[in-house]
A and B are shown apart, each in its own frame.
Chain A
Amino acid sequence: RYPLTFTADGTNNTEVLTPEAKVTSHNNFYEFGIGKSDPVNNAQNFNIKPWQLTISGECDKPYTLDLDDLTKSFALEERIYRLRCVEAWSMVIPWVGFELSKLLKKAQPNSRAKYIAFETLHDPAQMPGQASRRMGGGIDYPYVEGLRIDEAMNPLTLMSVGLYGKTLPAQNGAPIRLVVPWKYGFKSIKSIVAIKFVEHPPASTWNILAPNEYGFYANVNPEVDHPRWSQASERRLTSGGLFARNRIDTLPFNGYGEQVAGLYKNLDLRKNF
């Protein structure tokens, strides 16, 4: 990991950041194993050179970014965001990256571009979870995700190339990942190799696995429980051991309703969870 150059977060964040050691050792990244500490243990030799991210599909100017381009093509900025996992824990993380909209606009999407489909690297030789169903939790790889184009163009939606001022560790989705702070963490797909403009709603990995538990939208919503647990509150992981009193109420859209609630004003969020 090396330090990045970026402009500091402009908001007056008052929330306690999750310590870097926790952000980088507590990860759901089944490509490197199903346990929370499997990714940090199994991803240390993950080689991101060479890397190619292709932007294609319904657009006039498809293009490809190489590894160096990821941190150099767009001005980097820091964004301190809450991350709410669907498993009812959360973190506060200082990401470094750029708005996804900048990357998308450069490709000049056409009128059929209604959704964006994302895809993670598929490399079983480097990702043991993709080589073994036991290690990979029975997921069909590569991991795929999707957003509606207006969600993708929202200024909050970030392509992250770093955290805590340095490039991303492998376990957090190096070299480039998505961060959509008002949605459950599984939407924020890691180690992306392909971004495609598409006309129809793209498939998303957890929705394929359990459509009754994980919807396409996956907006953080305290009113709609996961079938097996409540989403009304969450545990905020900062520091402190077992006695950290860290259970807090979950906010609609993870507290970003002011910026994003308008995207869903005509949608029944109970049905479109």
Chain B
Amino acid sequence: MKYKVILFKIFVHLAAFLPLANAYYLAFTDQLGADPVEAIIHFTGIGAFNLLLLSLMITPLSKRFKISILLKVRRLVGLYSFTYAFLHLTNFLVFEVQFDWSLFLSEILERPYITIGMAGLLILLTLAITSISLLRKKMAKNWQKLHNWVYLAAVLIGIHFYWSVKSEIIEPSIYLFITFILLAFRFKKLNKWIKKD
């Protein structure tokens, strides 16, 4: 079993990291379309969302089909989602606004779709930091409470995507729909959690 888990983890690393490395290589060498900046921003953004939804699918899938090995990579998938999301923002700063800090800050504060995307990223950052085993143990019960915020992050990111497009709303609508399906799986749990607080 342990051997299988290690193999599975290596697979997840490769599946998440290789496409990223490939995209950056193509973008640096001006082979990622005519506008590599737009392309890399979209690639990392949609990649972050895909990985986040994937990480949220793990629990219901492993319960339903009794595949416990999936749970072993849940943290890893979540951390890759944060990595993609962090690079998404970094791309915007470094390659899109090109270190025009005042433009960077004003865009984050003045454009609601960027503001909520930023809020989603800050949640992911908090979750990534507290995913360290030591902190998880120290936080005990509070850890789960904090990590329930991932659902809010998913909704914020879904709206960020929906709001960012010009008229092509079908793809972001599908993403939002999947997000709410995944939320529905936790309806009881979230309801209890919200009422308690």
Q: Show the binding face of A for B, using Cβ within 8 Å.
A: 21-23, 25-26, 30, 34, 36-37, 87, 89, 133-134, 137-139, 209-210, 228-230, 232-233, 235, 237, 239-247
Contact = CB atoms under 8 A, between A and B. Distances in A.
Given A228-B113, A243-B28, A22 B167 contact: no
A242 B107 contact: no
Given A137-B168, A139-B167, A230-B106, A37 B38 contact: no
B111 A229 contact: yes
Contact of B167 (A209, A230, A233, A242): A209
Interface stretch (B11-19, B93-101, B144-152): B93-101
B127 to A, nearest CB: 27
B34 A25 contact: yes
B40 A242 contact: yes
Given A241-B27, A241-B30, A138 B37 contact: no
16 contacts: A22-B34, A23-B34, A26-B34, A26-B35, A36-B34, A87-B166, A133-B170, A134-B171, A137-B166, A228-B113, A229-B107, A235-B35, A242-B24, A242-B27, A242-B40, A244-B30
A209 B165 CA distance: 12
Contacts of A232: 103
B33 interface: yes
Given A139-B167, A210-B167, A247 B33 contact: no
B168 A230 contact: no
Given A209-B167, A235-B35, A241-B32, 17 more contacts: A36-B39, A37-B34, A134-B170, A137-B168, A139-B167, A210-B166, A228-B113, A235-B37, A239-B30, A241-B27, A241-B28, A241-B29, A242-B36, A243-B28, A247-B97, A247-B98, A247-B100
Contacts of A22: 34-35
Nearest to A137: B168
Interface residues of B, number: 33
Contacts of A244: 30
Given A229-B111, A242-B28, A138 B170 contact: yes
Contacts of B103: 230, 232-233
A212 B90 CA distance: 30
B180 interface: no
Contacts, number: 78
Nearest to B91: A242
Contacts of B100: 233, 247
Interface in B107-128: 107, 111, 113
B163 interface: yes
Contacts of A209: 166-167
Nearest to B27: A242
Interface string B19-57: 000001001111111111111100000000000000000
The winner among B29, B30, B35 for most chain A CB atoms within 10 A is: B35
B103 to A, nearest CB: 6
Given A133-B170, A237-B35, A242-B95, A230 B28 contact: no
A179 B40 CA distance: 29
B26 to A, nearest CB: 8
Contacts of B167: 30, 137-139, 209-210
A237 B37 CA distance: 10
The 6 closest A-B CB pairs, nearest first, are A26-B34, A22-B34, A241-B30, A137-B168, A34-B168, A247-B98
Contacts of A237: 34-35
A26 B107 contact: no
